[in-house]
């Protein structure tokens, strides 16, 4: 009985890993396809965070001994990746990196001009 | 022309090194290494030196991490030298960066996300660094990576908070005490068994936390020392800010 459960968990783990690698691939494609820094940052951060998370959970499910460690690493990635991305985006805006010419609103700039 | 010449020289060097490296045996052919001369038993051993480390390392030192066994036990002087180099680097940076009346640099505040995040992560990173250097004899890592991780957590605070400042006197005290612990452990070995850095504590059960004799003690000392040294270097390079 427990063997069946382990097998099912392994299959779920492989599914998780496939989802994760798929999203990592999408992130790298998005990095090439997107027009400006902010769009690229958005694709890369969201998709790689989810992808890495999914791969780590999948590894933990395939070999249950790894589950605590992989969950800790996943928690670290979830905490740090968005913070790093926000700092990078803010720094590039302050450094004067232009938005894509197709973008419509720039509320941050408007707010600054009002001040 | 200069670039072409440089590329040609680089290729020639690569070929020479590749030819030399091709003669070094890999993996299973470890017995091809020359057998080493054992000065204590005054005879040539029946196995090569790497083979000896892998076969007898656990029995000789009690550590399950063979890199630690070699670095702290078999070749303890090498680690002592590395620690000295780091100490000299930190002193050198401190003396080069020392100015009597430092001009205060204006630094802008970082955003709230970075501030909160680094405040949250600081403790976790310290914990992880301590884990790395306490378990140096069991898992990969050891004093140097653990110390670098602890210093990186302080670097995070330096980058997030413009006014953050680690007190230099305390850093110096912890650094010196840790270095002193290393040397005193070595001298105790000299007093008890006649060798500097002799492993005089009981080995305990292998793969348990309290095993491997003096190796964990030395690695905790190295971790604290490297952590406070690198933090001191960061502090000296950041200068006085406002």
Q: Can you give the pLDDT of all 115 residues of chain A as single tens digits? A: 688 888 888 899 999 999 999 999 999 998 898 888 888 888 888 888 999 999 999 999 888 888 898 998 998 898 888 888 888 888 888 887 777 777 777 777 777 777 6
* Three-class SS of B191-235: HHHCCCCCCCCCCCCCCCCCCCCCHHHHHHHHHHHHHHHHHHHHH
ipTM: 0.76
Kindly report the pTM of this predicted structure.
0.79
Question: How far off is chain A from B114, nearest CA to CA, in Å?
Answer: 6
Nearest 5°: phi and psi at B27? 55, -110
**Termini Cα distance of chain B:** 50
Range of the domain at B227: 65-238
Q: Are B88 and B75 in contact (CB under 8 A)?
A: no
Q: Please indicate whether, in this complex, the C-beta atoms of A76 and B124 are within 8 angstroms of each other.
A: yes
**Domain parsing of chain A, residue ranges:** 1-114
Question: How far off is chain A from B172, nearest CA to CA, in Å?
Answer: 31
Residue with tokens 């068994």: B193
A109 touches chain B (CB under 8 A): no
A25-64 residues touching B, CB cutoff 8 A: none
Count the domains in chain B: 1
Q: Please indicate whether, in this complex, the C-beta atoms of B113 and A83 are within 8 angstroms of each other.
A: yes
Residue B70 lies in a domain: yes
Residue B87 lies in a domain: yes
User: Containing H/E element for A115?
Assistant: none
SS3 B59: helix
User: Containing H/E element for B102?
Assistant: none
Residue B31 lies in a domain: no
Exposure string (b/e) for B154-179, b if CB count within 10 Å is 16 or more? bbbbbbbbbeeeeeeeebbebbeebb
Residue of chain A nearest B111, judged by CA positions: A87
Q: Which residues contact B222 (CB under 8 A, 6 or more apart)?
A: B79, B83, B133, B142, B143, B144, B147, B178, B182
């Amino acid at each position: 009985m427990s063997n069946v459960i382990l097998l099912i968990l392994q299959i779920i783990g492989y599914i998780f890993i496939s989802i994760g690698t798929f999203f990592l691939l999408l992130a790298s494609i998005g990095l090439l396809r997107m027009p400006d820094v902010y769009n690229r940052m958005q694709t890369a951060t969201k998709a790689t965070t989810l992808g890495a998370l999914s791969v780590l959970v999948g590894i933990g499910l395939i070999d249950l001994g790894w589950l605590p460690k992989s969950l800790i690493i996943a928690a670290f990635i979830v905490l740090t990746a968005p913070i790093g991305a926000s700092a990078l985006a803010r720094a590039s805006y302050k450094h004067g990196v232009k938005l894509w010419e197709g973008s419509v609103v720039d509320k941050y700039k408007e707010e600054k001009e009002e001040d | 022309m200069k670039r072409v010449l440089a590329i040609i020289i680089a290729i020639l060097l690569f070929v020479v090194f590749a030819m030399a490296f091709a003669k070094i045996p890999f993996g299973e052919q470890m017995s091809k290494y020359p057998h080493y001369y054992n000065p204590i038993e005054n005879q040539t051993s029946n196995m090569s030196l790497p083979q000896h480390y892998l076969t007898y390392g656990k029995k000789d030192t009690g550590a399950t991490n063979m890199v630690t066994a070699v670095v702290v036990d078999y070749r303890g002087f090498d680690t002592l030298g590395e620690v000295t180099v780091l100490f000299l680097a930190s002193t050198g940076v401190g003396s080069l960066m020392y100015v009597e009346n430092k001009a205060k640099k204006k630094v802008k505040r970082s955003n709230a996300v970075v501030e909160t995040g680094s405040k949250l992560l600081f403790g976790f990173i310290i914990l992880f660094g301590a884990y790395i250097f306490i378990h140096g004899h069991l898992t990969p890592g050891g004093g140097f990576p653990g110390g670098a991780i602890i210093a990186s957590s302080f670097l995070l605070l330096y980058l997030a908070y413009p006014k953050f400042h680690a007190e230099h006197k305390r850093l110096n005290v912890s650094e010196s005490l840790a270095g002193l612990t290393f040397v005193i452990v070595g001298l105790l070995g000299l007093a008890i068994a006649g060798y500097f850095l002799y492993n005089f504590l009981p080995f305990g059960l292998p793969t348990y936390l309290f095993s491997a004799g003096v190796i964990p003690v030395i690695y905790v000392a190295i971790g604290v020392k490297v952590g406070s040294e690198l933090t001191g270097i960061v502090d000296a390079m950041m200068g006085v800010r406002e």
